[in-house]
Amino acid sequence: MKIKILTASSPDRLNSLMEDHITQGWEPIGSHSVVVIHAQNRYSGSQHMDTTYETEYSITMRNTDLVNQE
In a domain? residue 37? yes
* CA dist., res. 61 & res. 3, Å (int): 6
In a domain? residue 19? yes
* CA dist., res. 61 & res. 29, Å (int): 6
pLDDT for the residue numbered 57:
98
pLDDT tens sequence for the chain (70 residues): 899 999 999 999 999 999 999 999 999 998 999 999 999 999 999 999 999 999 999 999 999 876 655 5
pLDDT for the residue numbered 59:
97
Give the total number of structural domains in the chain: 1
pTM above 0.85, yes or no: no
pLDDT for the residue numbered 67:
62
Q: Which domain holds residue 27?
A: 2-63
In a domain? residue 68? no
In a domain? residue 70? no
